[in-house]
């Protein structure tokens, strides 16, 4: 056992770790393993048939496509918001900074109905878009709006601390050597921010893929058109198709785990990058 | 380092630092960022309250004092009152083991604690159906003993605990790692017992982090929708939490009532943000004080 744990005079290790492992096993690990074990009751061919029907494939395309687009928009605007909050002063900045976390704190169902009310044909925003031929609510565009809302804080909150830590000397040196602001940004600042930006992008993307509450109100939920994969899992469950729902959730879980691995690698890269500079 | 820029028309001279953007760039960027935030954050937030009060105060009060709404509020408070303390104890235990000791597999353990964050809420609910549902592992045994977990309150509590597992632990782990072990070691050397050390040394040091994590955990616990929706069974007045009640009202086209209940949840979100900001502000001041000393 002495190779497992370094010696310490502090008490409570066995109790604390034992409780942690027991709790994690009961609440997280055993229930999660249920999804994999129940799926193993299907043969590989059956599993593959369930997770590749045209309706399911359409839901993957929609979920991943729209999540990617929303995360991309969040990467751009998240960087902009982080930049403005760190570098500039303007009235109400404190309040704006605090409100960036609203999507974390606001229940998703509330966000869902609020966005639907805004973007439907007679809503504050929808009534101006409808005459232009742009329908947002009850289309994939509505899903994009909801996922952009949900993912908004991730990029801001991963980029912000890195931007705060960039040393002024680097930029001063660049300016002394004749770089203009744009060159300094693209050659000095952006490369330093890039790992954090990618981490934020990946976090927003991962969150968007699993999102349910805010999307179902605004999506319209038409099979093949605006039906996201999490909704399809619920639909299968409501039809007592447990095998189908479980198989789909295993696909979602595997994708989540891969994304989690990528995010961990990105964070490691980000930390190493900031340790170097 | 300053560059002097002379504007040819006005003849005025401005001094601009070479590491700053020109004012027009600055204000355009601020304007663009605020436009984006207004469109995606402020307007949706305001619209919740606008829609809630659109039909007047009477409709609003009637909606939030409706027996089903009151039952939903009570259930939401009950669920949070169970889930938050459970995850609080877990968070402290996990952070004690991870931050105060060196052992193998620590990074794996941290990843496992974070796992619920990366699982879709719908899947979080489904896995409990697979364990406790009628078709699930324990389903037949539970039915035999007349214990209901799925489509009942225990299922809602379990799903909520699952989605909020990481909140307090991930707040405490970095905090306790940064604080090190010297103070606790000194206490133990001076003869304090393990619990004395925890209550008198560790807890005062982590109380703000603990509160911070608990506030975020509580917001998520009260607002969780997807996971709870799968296990709840949507029985009005009995297994409907506030977010689920909002959904039912909305689907019945009772928009004013849906937004009235939603406004309570939005208020909860705002209170959460205010408390969170206050704690962050306090911590920052505390750090500067310590840094100066």
Q: Which of B191, B71, B272, B19 lies closest to A181 in space, CA to CA?
A: B19
- Which residues make Cβ contacts (< 8 Å) with residue B228, sequence separation at least 6? B125, B156, B159, B160, B241, B243, B244
pLDDT digits (tens, 9 = 90+) for B179-227: 999 999 999 999 999 999 999 999 999 999 999 999 999 999 999 999 9
**Per-residue tokens: A194:** 């890039």
Which pLDDT value is given to residue B91?
Answer: 97
Say which residue the tokens 């999506």 belong to: A219
Gap from A193 CA to chain B (nearest CA, Å)? 17
Is the per-residue pLDDT at B14 higher than 60?
no
A160-189 residues touching B, CB cutoff 8 A:
168, 171-172, 175-176, 181, 184
B10-29 residues touching A, CB cutoff 8 A:
18-21, 25-26, 29
Inspect the interface and report whether the beta carbons of B90 and A104 lie closer than 8 Å. no
Between the alpha carbon of residue A174 and those of residues A37, B1, B129, the distances in Å are: 57, 12, 59
Q: Which long-range contacts (CB under 8 A, 24 or more apart) does A164-171 make?
A: A164/A86, A165/A274, A166/A192, A166/A193, A166/A277, A167/A277, A168/B19, A170/A277, A171/B19
Which pLDDT value is given to residue A21?
Answer: 97
Tens-digit pLDDT string for chain A (277 aa): 457 888 888 988 999 999 999 999 999 999 999 999 999 988 999 999 999 999 999 999 999 999 999 999 999 999 999 999 999 999 999 999 999 999 999 999 999 999 999 999 889 999 999 889 999 989 999 999 999 999 999 999 999 999 999 888 888 888 889 888 888 899 989 999 999 999 999 999 999 999 999 999 999 888 888 999 999 999 999 898 999 999 999 999 999 999 988 988 888 888 887 776 5
Q: What is the pTM of this model?
A: 0.91
Residue spans of the domains in chain B: they are 2-50, 55-292
Measured distance between the N- and C-terminal CA atoms of chain A, rounded to whole angstroms: 39
Q: Is B55 left (phi over 0), alpha (psi -120 to 50) or beta?
A: alpha
Average pLDDT value for chain B: 90
CB of A258 within 8 Å of any CB in chain B? no
Gap from A65 CA to chain B (nearest CA, Å)? 17
- Burial class of B62 by CB neighbour count within 10 A (0 to 12, 13 to 18, 19+): middle
Length of chain A: 277
Q: Which of B274, A186, A90 lies closest to A81 in space, CA to CA?
A: A90
Q: Minimal Cα distance from B157: which residue of A?
A: A27
Residues of B in contact with A249 (CB under 8 A): 120, 122-123, 126-127
Gap from B217 CA to chain A (nearest CA, Å)? 10
Q: Provide the H-helix boundaries in B190-235.
A: 194-197, 203-223, 226-232
Phi and psi (nearest 5°) for B261?
-65, -40
Three-class SS state of B259: helix
Three-class SS state of B256: helix
Gap from B293 CA to chain A (nearest CA, Å)? 22
Structure-model confidence comparison of residues B1 and A235, the more confident one: A235
CB of A91 within 8 Å of any CB in chain B? no
Q: Which of B262, B20, B1, B172 lies closest to A111 in space, CA to CA?
A: B262
- pLDDT tier, B234 (very low <50, low <70, confident <90, very high otherwise): confident
Is the per-residue pLDDT at B266 higher than 80?
yes
Q: Cα–Cα distance between B138 and A201 in angstroms, integer?
A: 40
* Residue A14 half-sphere exposure toward CB, CA atoms < 13 A: 2
Inspect the interface and report whether the beta carbons of B111 and A264 lie closer than 8 Å. yes
Do A248 and A57 contact (CB within 8 A), yes or no?
no
Which residue out of B118, B186, B232 would a mutagenesis test of the A interface target, given it has the greatest number of A Cβ atoms within 10 Å?
B118
Which residue out of A90, A126, A212 would a mutagenesis test of the B interface target, given it has the greatest number of B Cβ atoms within 10 Å?
A212
Is the per-residue pLDDT at B10 higher than 70?
no
Q: Cα–Cα distance between B259 and B51 in angstroms, integer?
A: 6
Residues of B in contact with A101 (CB under 8 A): 273, 276
DSSP string, B265-279: HHHHHHHHHHHHHHH
Residue spans of the domains in chain A: they are 44-276
Which residue out of B21, B23, B28, B30 would a mutagenesis test of the A interface target, given it has the greatest number of A Cβ atoms within 10 Å?
B30
CB of A3 within 8 Å of any CB in chain B? yes
Do A246 and A31 contact (CB within 8 A), yes or no?
no
Size of interface A-B (CB pairs under 8 A): 290
Is the per-residue pLDDT at B237 higher than 80?
no
- Which residues make Cβ contacts (< 8 Å) with residue B78, sequence separation at least 6? B153
Do A118 and A125 contact (CB within 8 A), yes or no?
yes
Is the per-residue pLDDT at B293 higher than 50?
no
Inspect the interface and report whether the beta carbons of A110 and B194 lie closer than 8 Å. no
Q: Cα–Cα distance between A28 and A15 in angstroms, integer?
A: 19
Domain B55-292, CATH among 1.10.10.10, 1.10.486.10, 3.40.47.10, 1.10.3720.10: 1.10.3720.10
Residues of A in contact with B121 (CB under 8 A): 108, 210-213, 230
Q: Cα–Cα distance between A114 and B124 in angstroms, integer?
A: 25
Three-class SS state of B109: helix
Three-class SS state of B15: strand
- Which residues make Cβ contacts (< 8 Å) with residue A152, sequence separation at least 6? A74, A77, A78, A100, A103, A204, B40, B41
CB of B197 within 8 Å of any CB in chain A? yes
Is the per-residue pLDDT at B290 higher than 70?
no
Is the per-residue pLDDT at B121 higher than 50?
yes
CATH class of A44-276: mainly alpha
Inspect the interface and report whether the beta carbons of B223 and A109 lie closer than 8 Å. yes
- pLDDT tier, B285 (very low <50, low <70, confident <90, very high otherwise): confident
B55-84 residues touching A, CB cutoff 8 A:
none
Q: Cα–Cα distance between B158 and B165 in angstroms, integer?
A: 10
Three-class SS state of A6: coil
Q: Cα–Cα distance between B98 and A19 in angstroms, integer?
A: 12
Q: Cα–Cα distance between B124 and A32 in angstroms, integer?
A: 8
Neighbours of A174 (CB within 10 A): 20
Inspect the interface and report whether the beta carbons of A77 and B48 lie closer than 8 Å. no
- pLDDT tier, B230 (very low <50, low <70, confident <90, very high otherwise): very high
Q: Cα–Cα distance between A18 and A5 in angstroms, integer?
A: 14
Among A74-88, B37-51, B231-245, whose mean pLDDT is lowest? B231-245
Gap from A255 CA to chain B (nearest CA, Å)? 10
A44-63 residues touching B, CB cutoff 8 A:
none
Do A248 and A236 contact (CB within 8 A), yes or no?
yes
Residues of A in contact with B109 (CB under 8 A): 20
CB of A125 within 8 Å of any CB in chain B? yes
Pairing of the two strands B13-17 and B2-6: antiparallel
Inspect the interface and report whether the beta carbons of A249 and B42 lie closer than 8 Å. no
CB of A208 within 8 Å of any CB in chain B? no
**Per-residue tokens: B117:** 């964050």
Inspect the interface and report whether the beta carbons of A11 and B137 lie closer than 8 Å. no
CB of A99 within 8 Å of any CB in chain B? yes
Neighbours of B107 (CB within 10 A): 10
**Per-residue tokens: B27:** 């204000």
Is the per-residue pLDDT at B144 higher than 70?
yes
**Per-residue tokens: A44:** 């590989």
- Burial class of A262 by CB neighbour count within 10 A (0 to 12, 13 to 18, 19+): middle
Which pLDDT value is given to residue B175?
Answer: 94
Which pLDDT value is given to residue B4?
Answer: 52
Residues of A in contact with B128 (CB under 8 A): 31
Q: Cα–Cα distance between B256 and B72 in angstroms, integer?
A: 17
**How are the residues of chain A apportioned to helix, strand and coil, as percentages rounded to the nearest 5?**
80, 0, 20
Q: Minimal Cα distance from B47: which residue of A?
A: A114
């Amino acid at each position: 056992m002495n190779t497992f744990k370094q010696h310490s005079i502090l008490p409570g290790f066995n109790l604390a770790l034992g409780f942690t492992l027991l709790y994690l096993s009961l609440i997280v690990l055993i229930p999660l393993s249920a999804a994999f074990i129940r799926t193993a009751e299907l043969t590989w061919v059956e599993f593959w048939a369930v997770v590749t029907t045209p309706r399911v494939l359409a839901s993957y395309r929609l979920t991943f496509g729209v999540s990617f687009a929303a995360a991309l928009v969040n990467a751009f605007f998240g960087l902009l918001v982080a930049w403005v909050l760190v570098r500039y002063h303007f009235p109400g900045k404190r309040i704006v900074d605090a409100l960036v976390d609203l999507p974390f704190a606001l229940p998703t169902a509330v966000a869902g109905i609020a966005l639907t009310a805004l973007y439907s044909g007679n809503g504050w925003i929808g009534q101006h878009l409808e005459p232009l031929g742009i329908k947002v609510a009850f289309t994939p565009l509505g899903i994009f709006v909801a996922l952009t809302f949900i993912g908004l804080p991730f990029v801001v909150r991963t980029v912000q601390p890195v931007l705060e830590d960039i040393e002024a000397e680097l930029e001063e040196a660049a300016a002394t050597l004749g770089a203009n602001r744009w060159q300094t940004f693209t050659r000095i600042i952006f490369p330093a921010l890039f790992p954090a930006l990618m981490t934020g992008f990946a976090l927003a993307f991962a969150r968007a893929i699993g999102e349910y509450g805010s999307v179902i109100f605004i999506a319209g939920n038409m099979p093949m058109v605006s039906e996201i994969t999490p909704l399809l899992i619920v639909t299968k469950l409501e039809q007592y198709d447990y095998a189908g729902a479980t198989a789909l959730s295993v696909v979602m879980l595997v994708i989540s785990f891969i994304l989690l691995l990528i995010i961990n690698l990105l964070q490691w890269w980000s930390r190493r990058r900031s340790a170097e500079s | 380092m300053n560059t002097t820029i002379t504007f040819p028309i006005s003849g005025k001279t401005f001094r601009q630092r070479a590491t700053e953007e020109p004012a027009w760039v600055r204000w355009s960027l601020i304007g663009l960022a605020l436009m984006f935030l207004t469109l995606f954050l402020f307007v949706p937030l305001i619209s919740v309250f606008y829609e809630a009060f659109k039909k007047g105060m009477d409709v609003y009060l009637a909606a939030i004092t409706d027996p089903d709404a009151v039952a939903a509020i009570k259930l939401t408070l009950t669920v949070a009152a169970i889930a938050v303390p459970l995850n609080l104890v877990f968070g402290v235990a996990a952070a004690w083991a991870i931050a105060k000791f060196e052992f193998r597999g620590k990074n794996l353990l941290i990843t496992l604690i974070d796992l619920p964050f990366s699982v879709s809420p719908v899947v979080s609910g489904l896995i409990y159906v697979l364990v406790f549902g009628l078709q699930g592992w324990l389903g037949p045994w539970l039915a035999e003993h007349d214990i209901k977990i799925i489509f009942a309150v225990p299922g809602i509590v379990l799903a909520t605990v699952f989605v909020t597992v990481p909140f307090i632990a991930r707040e405490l782990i970095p905090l306790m790692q940064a604080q090190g072990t010297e103070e606790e070691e000194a206490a133990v050397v001076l003869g304090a017992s393990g619990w004395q050390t925890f209550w008198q040394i560790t807890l005062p040091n982590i109380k703000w982090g603990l509160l911070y994590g608990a506030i975020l955990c509580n917001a998520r616990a009260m607002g969780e929708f997807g996971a709870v929706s799968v296990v709840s069974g949507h029985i009005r007045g009995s297994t409907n939490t506030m977010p689920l009640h909002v959904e039912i009202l909305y689907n019945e086209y009772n928009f004013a009532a849906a937004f009235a209940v939603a406004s309570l949840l939005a208020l909860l979100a705002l209170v959460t943000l205010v408390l969170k900001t206050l704690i962050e502000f306090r911590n920052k001041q505390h750090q500067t004080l310590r840094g100066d000393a």
